[in-house]
Amino acid sequence: MAEPNMKNEYSERFDQLRKNRVEVSFHKYGPAKTNFKDKLVDALKTHDLCIAKYKETKNTEYLVDAANYLMFEFMYPQLDGAYFKATDSDESAGTVGEAIGEWWL
């Protein structure tokens, strides 16, 4: 298999759009650490609202917002006992559909 062309595999623009919105949100809504660590804003439920709005409008800005809420949940987990552990394929949550790479397995 060929080496990945990262321009096709990763979006630097997506990251920049996320960062821009975090900076603006800091000034509009206050520090993320306070809003999420103190559980003033529910990151996962707000993420779900963003996904629903994307499905309704097809405006990809809501995907950027949704990703930020997942990042805040990662940084300031609101679920008791949340942790990070790298996993391999046999512990994957799975996918919906079949990736082309699975055709060769």
Q: Look at the chain and report how many structural domains it folds into.
A: 1
Domain-embedded: residue 66: yes
Domain-embedded: residue 87: no
Per-residue pLDDT of the chain (105 residues; tens, 9 = 90+): 678 888 889 999 999 999 999 999 999 999 999 999 999 999 999 999 999 999 999 999 999 999 999 999 999 999 999 999 999 988 988 888 887 776 765
Instruction: Look up the pTM and report it.
Output: 0.89
Cβ proximity of 50 and 62 under 8 Å: yes
Please tell me the number of Cα atoms within 13 Å of 23 on its side-chain side: 6
Domain-embedded: residue 89: no
Domain-embedded: residue 73: yes
Distance CA 91, CA 84 (A): 13
Distance CA 35, CA 29 (A): 8
